[in-house]
């Protein structure tokens, strides 16, 4: 599996909606797609590493009715505009995945227009699946053809025709050469010719060894499409509903069943990196589906810590709402302006940073530790580290004991839980979660923790200095703070302090850790309490 995709955090944009394009094709060219450049700093602040852009090529209406695979939709801009966008994204370290709509085309596709004009004499008759001139259709064309799910404005291509395949591969070649794209999401992959996927994969891998192919699959065994010969990944619709409905119903058994079935040892998709999401351009917004908005935090925590690749649908980081109305997807695909960061946005950004800092979250095994209706605990583990994820969707706090002799740090709340008698006990607040990493005993007083402070904005509230003098550790020992020093490379603040009894050893630890709260005796107390000069 490619390194970049293992570590990827996706941001999914539906460009025609995002840019506020008119519903139907227009003659003049806008430059609306350049708007995406203004969002790059927002993407970086959320620790996004890849964007998946819905259809960007010429179409008549919604983008999935392609007219020209080699021209950016005039409602979005020109090919030159899109080149600027791609260059800016890549400069920011953000990969680009485009929507490959290869199952069908629109009625304004140039080869179909030739069939309409020349009928049986058109050299492109064999480009379309089951084209018949002895039948008619509801467009009164005087002929019929295969469609996508009965929509006569979506004409199915004949992917058994080598000419069609060569044309599509030449188009992809152009996208890679001109826009330097890094992957494709294959629309309607479940109904496409599988030999085409084999050709596509072989071609793309010769162009870019780390090129990524992901298929839209709603139902079925994902191994049929995601394998060595065909695609690298597919959409994880099996987990999509359970991620939110398990919170609505206070029933973690629902999502836990899918996670264990898919990813536990011996799971059917243990070897795959599936594309995980909680909403997209085809389904209702997460904030509209949850009964209680506080559950948004746990849903995203689960999305980012479960095996696979997390994806955020544009705007959902601000908990915007949207549902299908009378068959229209317009509410799901709005034109948005950048908004102020919210508590949810900051939470998602912290989760993204966690994935950067903890490889175990994208390459570790999955093991279920505890399962109750309103609580779920699982462990991610690789050869170097292990992390516990504990979720509580109840309206009251839940006290949990984990079988470990390690002290644990909650990386979301910067709280430390101490081990006693091979048990580490903690209380998870209502509708909250913990991501727990062990703190080796031998390193507690001699080293900074292996994970730096996650939420820089949260640490802005910490003092930049503390008074020198005597402090009492929550375990009882007394120390004298000698200095507050600054790391020469990272500029992080460190406290230098000496034990007042025994061997009077000198210790050092980050200021943020020195000032934090820990749980002791069932209460949160300061790690070090100031006693005076």
Is this model's pTM higher than 0.75 or not? yes
Domain 462-533, CATH class in plain words: mainly beta
CA distance 305 to 525: 28
Which ranges in 335-453 belong to alpha helices (H)? 343-357, 360-363
CA distance 516 to 533: 21
Backbone angles phi, psi at 327, to 5 degrees: 80, 0
CA distance 346 to 222: 33
Q: Residue 181: name the closest of 309, 79, 277 by CA.
A: 79
CA distance 20 to 13: 12
Backbone angles phi, psi at 383, to 5 degrees: -70, -20
As annotated, the residues of the chain forming the CATH 3.20.20.80 domain(s) are 3-361
DSSP helix/strand/coil, 71: strand
Q: What's the pLDDT at 285?
A: 98
Q: What's the pLDDT at 460?
A: 41
Report the residue count for the chain.
533
The radius of gyration of the chain's CA atoms, rounded to the nearest angstrom, is: 27
Backbone angles phi, psi at 311, to 5 degrees: -135, 135
Positions of the chain with pLDDT lower than 50, given as ranges = 1, 442-463
Q: What's the pLDDT at 502?
A: 67
Both structure tokens of 334 = 């709005």
CA distance 277 to 300: 9
CA distance 208 to 183: 9
- Asked whether the beta carbons of 234 and 189 are under 8 A apart, the reply is yes
Q: What's the pLDDT at 488?
A: 78
- Asked whether the beta carbons of 316 and 334 are under 8 A apart, the reply is no
Q: Which 8-state DSSP code applies to residue 295?
A: H
Sign of the CA dihedral running 139, 187, 54, 114: negative
Q: Which 8-state DSSP code applies to residue 127?
A: G
Q: Cβ-count burial of 337 within 10 angstroms (0-12 exposed, 13-18 middle, 19+ buried)? A: exposed
Q: What's the pLDDT at 466?
A: 83
CA distance 399 to 361: 24
- CATH for 3-361 is 3.20.20.80
Q: Residue 424: name the closest of 439, 445, 444 by CA.
A: 439
Both structure tokens of 389 = 């994820």
CA distance 90 to 181: 9
């Amino acid at each position: 599996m490619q390194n970049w995709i293992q570590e990827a955090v996706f941001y999914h944009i539906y460009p025609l909606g995002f840019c506020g394009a008119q519903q139907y094709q227009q003659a003049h060219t806008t430059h609306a797609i350049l708007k995406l450049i203004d969002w790059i700093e927002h993407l970086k602040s959320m620790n996004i590493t890849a964007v998946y852009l819905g259809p960007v090529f010429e179409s008549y209406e919604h983008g999935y009715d392609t007219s020209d695979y080699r021209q950016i939709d005039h409602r979005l801009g020109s090919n030159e505009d899109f080149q600027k966008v791609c260059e800016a994204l890549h400069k920011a370290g953000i990969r680009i995945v485009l929507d490959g709509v290869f199952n069908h085309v629109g009625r304004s596709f140039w080869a179909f227009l030739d069939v309409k004009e020349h009928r049986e004499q058109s050299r492109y008759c064999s480009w379309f699946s089951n084209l018949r001139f002895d039948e008619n259709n509801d467009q009164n064309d005087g002929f019929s053809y295969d469609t996508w799910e009965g929509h006569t404005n979506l004409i199915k291509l004949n992917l058994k025709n080598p000419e069609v395949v060569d044309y599509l591969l030449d188009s992809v070649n152009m996208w890679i050469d001109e826009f330097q794209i890094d992957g494709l999401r294959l629309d309607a992959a479940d109904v496409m010719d599988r030999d085409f996927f084999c050709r596509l994969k072989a071609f793309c891998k010769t162009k870019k060894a780390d090129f990524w192919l992901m298929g839209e699959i709603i139902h079925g065994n994902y191994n049929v499409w995601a394998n060595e010969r065909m695609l690298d990944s597919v959409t994880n619709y099996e987990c999509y509903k359970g991620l939110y409905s398990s919170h609505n119903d206070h029933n973690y058994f629902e999502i836990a069943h899918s996670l264990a079935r898919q990813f536990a040892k011996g799971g059917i998709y243990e070897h795959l990196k599936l594309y995980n999401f909680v909403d997209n351009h085809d389904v209702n917004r997460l904030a509209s589906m949850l009964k209680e908005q506080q559950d948004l935090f746990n849903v995203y925590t689960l999305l980012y810590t479960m095996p696979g690749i997390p994806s955020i649908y544009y705007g959902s980081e601000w908990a915007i709402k949207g549902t299908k109305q009378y068959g229209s997807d317009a509410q799901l695909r709005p034109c948005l302006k950048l908004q102020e960061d919210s508590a949810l946005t900051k939470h998602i950004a912290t989760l993204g940073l966690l994935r950067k800092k903890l490889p175990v979250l994208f390459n570790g095994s999955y093991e279920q530790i505890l399962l109750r209706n309103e609580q779920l605990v699982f462990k991610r583990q690789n050869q170097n580290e292990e992390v516990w994820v504990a979720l509580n969707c109840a309206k009251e706090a839940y006290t949990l004991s984990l079988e470990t002799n390690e002290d644990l740090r909650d990386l979301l709340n910067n709280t430390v839980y101490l081990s006693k008698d091979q048990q580490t006990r903690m209380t998870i607040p209502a509708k909250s979660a913990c991501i727990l990493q062990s703190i080796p005993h031998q390193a507690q007083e001699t080293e900074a923790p292996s994970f730096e402070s996650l939420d820089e904005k949260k640490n802005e509230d910490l003092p930049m200095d503390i008074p020198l003098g005597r402090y009492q550790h929550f375990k009882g020992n007394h120390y004298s703070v000698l200095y507050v020093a600054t790391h020469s490379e990272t500029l992080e603040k460190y406290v230098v302090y000496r034990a007042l009894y025994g061997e009077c050893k000198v210790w050092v630890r980050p200021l943020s850790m020195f000032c934090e709260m820990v749980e002791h005796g069932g209460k949160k107390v300061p790690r070090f309490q100031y006693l005076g000069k």
